[in-house]
Amino acid sequence: MKFIPQEIIRKKRDGYPLDKSDIESMVRGITDESVSEGQVAAFAMAVFFQGMSMQERIDLTVAMKNSGTIIDWPTFGFKSGVVDKHSTGGVGDKVSLILGPLAAACGAFVPMISGRGLGHTGGTLDKFDAIPGYDTTPDLETFVTVTREAGCAIIGQTSDLAPADRRLYSIRDVTATVESIDLITASILSKKLAAGLQGLVMDVKYGSGAFMEKYEDARKLAESIAHVATGAGVPTVALLTDMNEVLGHSVGNALEMQEAVDFLTGKYRDSRLMQVVFVLTGEMLILAGLARDIGEATIKMNAALDSGTAADCFGTMVKGLGGPVDFVQKAAEYLDAAPVEMAVYPESAGFVTAMDNRAVGMTLVAMKGGRIRAEQPIDYGVGMTNFAHIGDKIGPDVPICRVFARDEEQANMAAERIREAVQVGLDRPADRPVVSERIAGVA
């Protein structure tokens, strides 16, 4: 039967389920551009309003995965242990920088395909771009070689992985159809599944600094991703984690890279960041068959950090992808640092009771350390460090954070925004869990 895009659009518009062949035909048309931009937009809008069943989501994800190259790790000699993690993003989220080499040091292989920051959320690739010479777009041979030698390689999406997603997302971005759990699920997973994973851990964040601010929305996305990925053949576990405050103590690309190096070398390890890193990495080790449970995984992770093996894996990865051979030892010498440092003190003493974490992220954007449009250049050296956590006491002698800016005007602007984003009260708020829930996919 001849493929008629408008008939599939009409079918979904009227609330009828699409069968596998319908979805495969539409994805094929999106990829080869036989389906017009207007038809892609209409299809996205129909899905946005009518939704998709779990089977439709699986079929869409698999079809988008199959629209380009699929990496077959066993053909390169990786018989087992190829796992990855993906995050929905947040403010100060430098988990991947630590998790990749930590999992590798415990015996896993982590070929991680990451993205750039947009809006208030930071991007993993932007943090690696802060390292001189680091290549986030290597060829496949280099990607495989570094993964083999370092145990991990963190790069960006190549043009031949899930090309249907690239076109569909670009159209969703300008047609107000981004906020669809069905389409978000397929977009995230098509790229991850094309990377040939044997297991995936998903970090779905909720709160003021997350893409999904409401817990209920984040939970729906976590369930969708876990079940769709598992149904598509990749065992997946999703964890819901808190993003109501900065994760770790720094915000800004070079500053977060330095924090990650300090974590791996043992110079400083923020307790909330460590909880998230250990739970996510532990789940990866279990999926890879390298640990029976979180307890055994924790023993292995502590050993990998204490021995310096995790830091070594990070250094090998940086070197393999074009960065300095001594980056771990001399990170501060290689990373850009804005020259003006300013402590940001609160207007009154007390406990940090709440934080508008999105506003913190947008402060970095206002300093040109983030971007609103994908093509915008960013300043890697600006940002904030030593951020107080919710529940910490601050006052005239204890700042909210320290700002690193290009000039005093920029520093003052950032300081004012940070003061407005942080609420201070006389009573210490109750502690909140950093990791709230675990959802395992069901095939």
Give the model confidence (pLDDT) of 399-430 as tens digits.
999 999 999 999 999 999 999 999 999 999 99
Contact 215, 178 (CB under 8 A): no
Q: Are residues 187 and 46 in the same domain?
A: no
Would the pLDDT of 1 be above 70? Answer: no
Which of 169, 134, 123, 157 has its CA nearest to residue 378?
A: 123
**Residue 323 pLDDT class (50, 70, 90 cuts):** very high
Q: What angle do CA 102, 103, 107 make, to 5 degrees?
A: 115
Task: Examine the fold and report which residue of 310, 331, 352 is the final residue of a domain before the chain moves on.
Answer: 331
Q: Are residues 59 and 91 in the same domain?
A: no
Q: Are residues 38 and 116 in the same domain?
A: no
Where do we find the tokens 């990855």? 84
- Kindly name the residue from 86, 127, 272, 402 that is annotated as catalytic: 86
Would the pLDDT of 9 be above 80? Answer: yes
4 backbone dihedrals φ, ψ, rounded to 5°: -120, 100
- Euclidean distance between CA atoms 422 and 261, whole angstroms: 27
pLDDT tens-digit map of 61-117: 999 999 999 999 999 999 889 999 999 989 999 999 999 999 999 999 999 988 877
Instruction: CATH number of the domain at 348, please.
Output: 3.90.1170.30
**Residue 174 pLDDT class (50, 70, 90 cuts):** confident
Is 124 assigned a catalytic role? yes
Instruction: CATH number of the domain at 29, please.
Output: 1.20.970.10
Asked, for residue 294, whether it belongs to a domain, the answer is yes
Asked, for residue 440, whether it belongs to a domain, the answer is no
Q: What is the pLDDT of residue 158?
A: 77
- Kindly name the residue from 67, 88, 177, 187 that is annotated as catalytic: 187
- Euclidean distance between CA atoms 238 and 73, whole angstroms: 23
> Percentage of the chain with pLDDT > 90?
88
- Kindly name the residue from 85, 116, 205, 358 that is annotated as catalytic: 85
Is 145 assigned a catalytic role? no
Q: How many domains does the chain have?
A: 3
Is 236 assigned a catalytic role? no
Is 11 assigned a catalytic role? no
Q: Are residues 260 and 399 in the same domain?
A: no
Asked, for residue 433, whether it belongs to a domain, the answer is no
Q: What is the mean pLDDT of residues 114-141?
A: 89
- Kindly name the residue from 84, 165, 182, 242 that is annotated as catalytic: 84
- Kindly name the residue from 172, 219, 227, 319 that is annotated as catalytic: 172
Asked, for residue 432, whether it belongs to a domain, the answer is no
Q: What is the pLDDT of residue 123?
A: 85
User: Rounded to whole angstroms, what are the CA distances from 87 to 24, 48, 169, 175?
Assistant: 27, 22, 17, 24
Q: Are residues 357 and 301 in the same domain?
A: no
Q: Are residues 58 and 173 in the same domain?
A: no
Q: Are residues 103 and 194 in the same domain?
A: yes
pLDDT tens-digit map of 193-221: 998 999 999 999 999 999 899 999 999 99
Q: Are residues 40 and 85 in the same domain?
A: no
Q: What is the pLDDT of residue 329?
A: 97
> pTM of the prediction?
0.94
Asked, for residue 438, whether it belongs to a domain, the answer is no
Q: Are residues 22 and 144 in the same domain?
A: no
Q: Are residues 299 and 360 in the same domain?
A: no
Would the pLDDT of 276 be above 70? Answer: yes
Q: What is the mean pLDDT of residues 287-308?
A: 97
Asked, for residue 357, whether it belongs to a domain, the answer is yes
Q: Average pLDDT, whole number, for the chain?
A: 95
pLDDT tens-digit map of 350-385: 999 999 999 999 999 999 998 877 678 899 999 999
User: Rounded to whole angstroms, what are the CA distances from 431 to 10, 109, 218?
Assistant: 50, 35, 21
Asked, for residue 436, whether it belongs to a domain, the answer is no
Instruction: CATH number of the domain at 157, please.
Output: 3.40.1030.10
Would the pLDDT of 118 be above 70? Answer: no
Is 86 assigned a catalytic role? yes
Q: Are residues 44 and 130 in the same domain?
A: no
Q: Are residues 212 and 290 in the same domain?
A: yes
Residue 59 belongs to domain spanning: 5-65
The SS3 of residue 4 is coil
- Kindly name the residue from 25, 31, 87, 250 that is annotated as catalytic: 87
- Kindly name the residue from 57, 127, 167, 191 that is annotated as catalytic: 191
Asked, for residue 441, whether it belongs to a domain, the answer is no
Q: What is the pLDDT of residue 160?
A: 84
- Kindly name the residue from 192, 205, 249, 300 that is annotated as catalytic: 192
pLDDT tens-digit map of 381-396: 999 999 999 999 999 9
139 half-sphere exposure, CB direction, 13 A CA radius: 1
